């Protein structure tokens, strides 16, 4: 057996292998916006460039980021998962409630919360592939149902106190960096390796890029889609554990509307809503940018009611940029395609 | 309809006058001359059949008359009014086109569809009553059995077509173009359609009728106009013609009969037995042996691609079996077909074969993921090695193997699809219109490759609408018509005329 992750194709050559030039521009563009924004913020607010504030921004971004890792898989197969925030809440209340109400050991509660996430993901995947319900509708249904169960189970209020393991997770530091940030980066790293280095990852891109061609090449596209939804469910459940740790409660009422923030972050991060295009690196930059905007809004004392307007404008700007980029790219491709297509096809019917 | 009837019609005293006149129509697309200085007349109160092989230029001419394309040179006039390249101009001067698939808004009623975009209003308010009346008047002439308030989406395709004709009548169209109107109709529906056509004709409407079925042409047409390779071959009254003459006009060209050394033919690789799929394929049986190239000819819509889809597991079938090397393969599962040793180069490579966003390399290895991975992890070095080898073997012109496949030319894209299968070394390779839309150079390279593969012992099923390709490459020709194999011809029996004749009649 050969080296699973050949060293020589890491680094820049890996970027060249997976990312086209345009993708690179997208990542660099996001990075430039983030750096520029940070510079401006440093001059505007004395608090911004403090370790404490940066850590705070990153910590709050971790929950969105972990959900977004799963969402990226779903969007890459040209689906969408609206149930993520509800799964997160369900996982959070289960992780505490099973200990508090049923007296299970915390480890069992955690595994049960993750299994619940996988289960909802599987239901989503089956509904989309076997019942052919559009992903938007299928996950809208499970979103409502999962949150409903979370309310029923918790009685609609937060469950506290949390088992010690969550307090330890929140307080943990690895080389001085908060453990949850390290965990998020590790998860994103694994996800990126899965995408770029495994058969499943390649199948994800092919299924999202052209499902018919993928099927005709022998890829079990339905299975790929189901697994993508299961990853999304699992990641949302993991994020549910993180939110339990952060709030020190089984958070029954948290994450209202978070699914939209996650989708926005993923799209800002260059993952195409049409599927087949995107990677974890730029996606994380998208999450970071949204987090920074939120932070800026807080630090600059923008009236709280305005912060969603500002976030919305950022999303609109990013989406417009993405469409512009895509059109620019496709205009170049189309010229060639038309030239060749019309070449020997006098019957364009 | 006899000449005497026509003379009795009040509109014309003598020979029917030309309503639509196209003069010197030339249209080229990059790399091909679709229409070359074509003259075309549609006479008042006549049904003109427009015939030609696939790619002869019929569709281009129709689209031009419907206002979708502008000719590079030449002019189309209707009763002296010039047609501009704009669909609304065509409607305005009285040319209505009934496309192969009905263009109706499914959720709207029959009446609303008939009046589509011309809904009668007063001060901006829709006048339902006037709409119903106008629609009913048009419906009464072509489809009195339809209820004007039924949603169009609930109608059969035959009735939808009648609604489109009613729309054309309500617009006071003078020329009605029908592009293969009978393809999705049953025999009684065809009879009803032809009765409507006869009626419209007797009222002075001119009809352009495009069909591949010569029987229908001889039933309904007064005049036959034939195009070939973008040129007008001739336009003659039906009374001067018979089946053979029409086929000769359509085929016409000299077919060079290059003699290919006969290859040794091995064991049966593919055996299809009694394969049937409702309304698509009926009772198809044939074999392809190792080292044999079997051609599959027929007109568009005869069921050739559908057959390939069933063999390769893309579509399910109702009965029958597909065997490779004596073993039946699971239906409706492309993966099973691939594992059994079948490769398919589909007709529409951009839609069915390539993932445009992916690199050339990833597209080559897309059906090889099982062979380049260990425990689910891709062996990138092996992937690169295989891709580079195949890219080199087929001389794919690409800046690098990491280039996006969608930026390559059509011929090179096709080579990428071929490379994918050659890397797998299938026992049977199905090629569906492998040289469609690619330049001449790449075309001959692909032809040579097909011969080389057969010499190497691969069984090949070649579906092609290009008769020269079929005649020069294949050992045997199966001709399909209406979902059946209408003939199995040996090399010696297969000529343009015999193939065309089995494809259109019998």
Residues of B with Cβ-Cβ distance to A339 under 8 angstroms: 30-31, 409
B133 pLDDT exceeds 90?
Answer: no
Residue A4: its pLDDT value, please?
34
Q: Residue B333: phi, psi to the nearest 5?
A: -150, 95
Question: For residue range B415-432, what is the model confidence (pLDDT) as tens digits?
Answer: 999 999 999 999 999 999
Of the candidates A20, A197, A347, the beta carbon closest to that of B404 is on: A20
Out of A280-294, B112-126, B333-347, B463-477, pick the least confident. B112-126
A205 pLDDT exceeds 60?
Answer: yes
Residue A5 in domain: no
| Secondary structure (3-state) at A176 | coil
Q: Do B100 and B129 share a structural domain?
A: yes
Out of B196-200, B246-250, B261-265, pick the least confident. B261-265
Q: Do B348 and B216 share a structural domain?
A: no
Q: Do B324 and B439 share a structural domain?
A: yes
Question: For residue range A101-136, what is the model confidence (pLDDT) as tens digits?
Answer: 999 999 999 999 999 999 999 999 999 999 999 999
Q: Do B72 and B115 share a structural domain?
A: no
Written as six digits, the tokens of A151 are 């309310």
A195 pLDDT exceeds 70?
Answer: yes
Distance from CA of A324 to the nearest CA of B (A): 17
- Give the model's confidence band at B438: pLDDT under 50 very low, under 70 low, under 90 confident, else very high: confident
Question: How far is Cα B43 from Cα B46, in angstroms, rounded to an integer?
Answer: 6
Domain boundary among B151, B172, B193: B172
Task: Give me the sign of the Cα torsion angle A198, A200, A204, A210.
Answer: positive
List the CATH number of the domain containing A71: 1.10.3470
Mean pLDDT of all residues belonging to chain B: 87
Question: How far is Cα A88 from Cα A236, in angstroms, rounded to an integer?
Answer: 5
Out of B133-147, B182-196, B291-305, pick the least confident. B182-196
Question: For residue range A288-308, what is the model confidence (pLDDT) as tens digits?
Answer: 998 998 898 888 888 877 877
Written as six digits, the tokens of B166 are 């009613």
Higher model confidence: residue B276 or residue B86? B276
A75 pLDDT exceeds 90?
Answer: yes
CA-based nearest residue to B52, from B228, B195, B215, B301: B228
Distance from CA of A216 to the nearest CA of B (A): 6
Number of domains forming the structure of chain A: 1
CA-based nearest residue to B307, from B346, B267, B348, B354: B346
Question: How far is Cα B232 from Cα B229, in angstroms, rounded to an integer?
Answer: 9
Percent share of chain B, pLDDT over 70: 93
Looking at residues B134-152, what average pLDDT do you find? 89
Residue B258 in domain: no
- Give the model's confidence band at B8: pLDDT under 50 very low, under 70 low, under 90 confident, else very high: very low
Contact B378 A202 (CB under 8 A): yes
A340 pLDDT exceeds 80?
Answer: no
Residue B201 in domain: no
| Secondary structure (3-state) at B459 | strand
B384 pLDDT exceeds 60?
Answer: yes
**Which residue is closest to B384 within chain A, CA to CA?**
A17
Contact B377 A202 (CB under 8 A): no
Looking at residues B311-317, what average pLDDT do you find? 95
Residue A280 in domain: yes
Q: Do B445 and B328 share a structural domain?
A: yes
Residue B57: its pLDDT value, please?
85
Residue B6: its pLDDT value, please?
42
Residues of B with Cβ-Cβ distance to A343 under 8 angstroms: 29-32, 410, 437-439
Looking at residues A306-332, what average pLDDT do you find? 73
Q: Are strands B47-51 and B223-228 parallel, antiparallel or unpaired?
A: parallel
DSSP assignment of B303-362 = SHHHHHHHHTTSS--SEEEEEETTEE--TT-HHHHHHHTEEEE-S-HHHHT--TTSBHHH
Residue B334: its pLDDT value, please?
95
Residue B164 in domain: yes
Residue B165 in domain: yes
Mutate to test the interface with B, among A22, A197, A199, A217 (most CBs of B within 10 A): A217
Residue B4: its pLDDT value, please?
43
Residue A344 in domain: no
Most confident of A73-77, A248-252, B6-10: A73-77
Domain boundary among B172, B188, B221: B172
Most confident of A76-85, B57-66, B162-171, B234-243: A76-85
Between the alpha carbon of residue B333 and those of residues B226, B228, B414, the distances in Å are 42, 40, 23
Residue A342 in domain: no
Residue B407: its pLDDT value, please?
82
A7 pLDDT exceeds 60?
Answer: no
Mutate to test the interface with B, among A222, A344, A348 (most CBs of B within 10 A): A344
Residue B143 in domain: yes
Question: How far is Cα B176 from Cα B253, in angstroms, rounded to an integer?
Answer: 31
Q: Do B291 and B211 share a structural domain?
A: no
Most confident of A180-194, A254-268, B88-102: A180-194
Residue B506: its pLDDT value, please?
57
A266 pLDDT exceeds 60?
Answer: yes
Query: In this structure, how many other beta carbons lie within 10 angstroms of the beta carbon of residue A11?
Result: 9
Residue B389: its pLDDT value, please?
94
Asked if the ipTM is above 0.85, the reply is no
Q: Do B85 and B152 share a structural domain?
A: no
**How many A×B Cβ pairs under 8 Å?**
167
Residue A136: its pLDDT value, please?
96
Burial annotation B237-252 (CB, 10 A radius, 16+ → b, else e): ebeebebeebbebbbe
Mean pLDDT of all residues belonging to chain A: 86
Q: Do B18 and B162 share a structural domain?
A: no
Residue A326: its pLDDT value, please?
65
Residue A169 belongs to domain spanning: 12-337
Mutate to test the interface with B, among A276, A343, A348 (most CBs of B within 10 A): A343
Residue B417 in domain: yes
Cβ atoms of A192 and A281 closer than 8 Å: yes
Number of domains forming the structure of chain B: 3
Residue A327 in domain: yes
pTM value? 0.77
B198 pLDDT exceeds 60?
Answer: yes
Question: For residue range B449-484, what is the model confidence (pLDDT) as tens digits?
Answer: 999 999 999 999 999 988 888 988 899 999 999 899
Domain boundary among B253, B286, B317: B253
B49 pLDDT exceeds 60?
Answer: yes
Higher model confidence: residue A204 or residue B32? A204
Question: For residue range B184-194, what is the model confidence (pLDDT) as tens digits?
Answer: 777 788 888 99
Residue A45 in domain: yes
Q: Do B401 and B343 share a structural domain?
A: yes
List the CATH number of the domain containing B494: 3.40.50.300
- Give the model's confidence band at A242: pLDDT under 50 very low, under 70 low, under 90 confident, else very high: very high
Q: Do B144 and B127 share a structural domain?
A: yes
Burial-class residue A29 by CB neighbours within 10 Å (0-12, 13-18, 19+).
Answer: middle
Contact A198 B354 (CB under 8 A): no
Residue A40 in domain: yes
A345 pLDDT exceeds 50?
Answer: no
Residue B56: its pLDDT value, please?
81
Residue A349 in domain: no
Out of A225-229, B214-218, B358-362, pick the least confident. B214-218
Looking at residues A184-205, what average pLDDT do you find? 95
Higher model confidence: residue B290 or residue B439? B290
Of the candidates A201, A276, A347, the beta carbon closest to that of B55 is on: A347
Q: Which residues contact B83 (CB under 8 A, 6 or more apart)?
A: B65, B67, B75, B76, B77, B89, B90, B93, B95
Residue B386 in domain: yes
Residue B456 belongs to domain spanning: 268-504
Question: How far is Cα B127 from Cα B115, in angstroms, rounded to an integer?
Answer: 11
- Give the model's confidence band at A328: pLDDT under 50 very low, under 70 low, under 90 confident, else very high: low
């Amino acid at each position: 057996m050969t080296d699973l992750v050949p060293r020589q194709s890491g680094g820049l050559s890996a970027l060249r292998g997976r990312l086209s030039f345009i993708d690179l521009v997208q990542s660099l563009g996001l990075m430039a916006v983030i750096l520029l924004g940070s510079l401006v913020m440093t001059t505007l607010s004395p608090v911004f460039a403090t370790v404490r504030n940066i850590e705070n921004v990153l910590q709050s971004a971790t929950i969105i980021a972990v959900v977004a890792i799963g969402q990226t898989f779903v969007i890459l197969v040209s689906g969408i998962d609206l149930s993520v925030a509800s799964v997160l809440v369900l996982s959070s209340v289960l992780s505490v409630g099973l200990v508090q109400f049923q007296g299970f050991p915390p480890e069992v509660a955690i595994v049960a919360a993750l299994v619940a996430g996988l289960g909802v993901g599987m239901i989503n995947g089956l509904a989309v592939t076997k019942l052919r319900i559009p992903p938007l509708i299928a996950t809208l249904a499970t979103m409502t149902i999962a949150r409903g169960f979370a309310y029923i189970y918790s009685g609609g209020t937060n469950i506290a106190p949390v088992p010690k393991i969550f307090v330890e997770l929140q307080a943990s530091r690895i080389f001085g960096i908060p453990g949850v940030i390290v965990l998020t980066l590790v998860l994103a790293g694994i996800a990126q390796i899965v995408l770029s280095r495994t058969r499943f990852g390649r199948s994800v891109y092919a299924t999202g890029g052209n499902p018919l061609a993928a099927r005709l090449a022998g890829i079990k596209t339905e299975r790929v889609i189901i697994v993508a939804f299961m990853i999304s469910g699992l990641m949302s459940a993991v994020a549910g554990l993180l939110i339990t740790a952060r709030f020190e409660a089984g958070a029954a009422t948290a994450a209202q509307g978070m699914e939209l923030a996650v989708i926005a972050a993923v799209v800002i991060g260059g993952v195409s809503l049409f599927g087949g295009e995107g990677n974890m690196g730029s996606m994380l930059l998208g999450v970071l940018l949204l987090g920074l905007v939120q932070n800026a809004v807080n630090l600059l004392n923008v009236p709280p009611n305005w912060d969603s307007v500002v976030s919305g404008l950022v999303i609109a700007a990013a989406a417009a940029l993405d469409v512009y980029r895509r059109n620019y790219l496709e205009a170049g491709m189309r010229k060639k395609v038309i030239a060749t297509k019309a070449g020997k096809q006098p019957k364009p019917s | 309809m006899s000449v005497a009837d026509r003379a009795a019609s009040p509109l014309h005293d003598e020979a029917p006058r030309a309503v639509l006149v196209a003069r010197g129509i030339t249209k080229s697309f990059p790399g091909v001359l679709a229409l070359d200085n074509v003259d075309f007349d549609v006479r008042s109160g006549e049904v003109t059949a427009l015939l030609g092989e696939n790619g002869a230029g019929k569709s281009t001419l129709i689209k031009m008359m419907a206002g979708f394309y502008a000719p590079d040179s030449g002019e189309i006039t209707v009763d002296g009014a010039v047609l501009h390249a704009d669909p609304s101009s065509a409607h305005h001067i009285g040319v209505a086109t009934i496309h192969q698939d009905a263009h109706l808004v499914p959720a709207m009623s029959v009446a609303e569809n008939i009046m589509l975009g011309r809904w009668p209003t007063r001060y901006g308010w829709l006048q339902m009553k006037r709409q119903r009346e106008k629609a009913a008047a048009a419906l009464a002439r072509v489809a009195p059995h339809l209820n004007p308030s039924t949603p169009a989406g609930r109608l059969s395709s035959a009735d939808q077509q009648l609604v489109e004709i009613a729309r054309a009548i309500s617009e006071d169209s003078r020329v009605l173009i029908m592009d293969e109107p009978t393809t999705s109709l049953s025999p009684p529906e065809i009879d009803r359609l032809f009765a409507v056509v006869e009626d419209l004709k007797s009222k002075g409407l001119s009809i352009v009728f495009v069909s591949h079925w010569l029987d229908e042409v001889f039933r309904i047409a007064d005049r036959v106009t034939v195009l070939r390779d973008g040129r007008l071959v001739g336009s003659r009254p039906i009374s001067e013609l018979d089946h053979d003459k029409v086929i000769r006009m359509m085929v016409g060209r000299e077919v060079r009969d290059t003699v290919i050394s006969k290859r040794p033919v091995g064991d049966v690789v593919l055996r299809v037995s009694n394969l049937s799929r409702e309304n698509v394929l009926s009772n198809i049986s044939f074999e392809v042996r190792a080292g044999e190239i079997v051609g599959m000819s027929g007109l568009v819509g005869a069921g050739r691609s559908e057959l390939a889809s069933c063999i390769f597991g893309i579509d399910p079938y109702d009965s029958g079996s597909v065997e490779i090397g004596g073993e039946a393969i699971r239906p409706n599962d492309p993966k099973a077909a691939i594992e059994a040793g079948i490769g398919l180069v589909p007709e529409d490579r951009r839609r069915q074969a390539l993932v445009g966003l992916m690199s050339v390399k990833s597209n080559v290895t897309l059906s090889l993921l099982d062979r380049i991975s260990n425990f689910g992890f891709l062996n990138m070095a092996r992937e690169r090695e295989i891709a580079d080898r195949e890219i080199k073997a087929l001389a794919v012109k690409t800046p690098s193997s990491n280039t996006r496949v969608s930026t390559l030319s059509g011929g090179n894209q096709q080579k990428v699809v071929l490379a994918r299968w050659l890397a797998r070394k299938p026992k049977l390779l199905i090629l569906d219109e492998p040289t469609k839309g690619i330049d001449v150079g790449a075309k001959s390279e692909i032809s040579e490759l097909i011969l080389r593969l057969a010499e190497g012992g691969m069984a090949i099923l070649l579906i092609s609408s290009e008769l020269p390709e079929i005649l020069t490459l294949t050992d045997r020709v199966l001709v399909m018509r209406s979902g059946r194999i209408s003939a199995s011809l040996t090399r010696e029996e297969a000529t343009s005329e015999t193939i065309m004749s089995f494809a259109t009649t019998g």
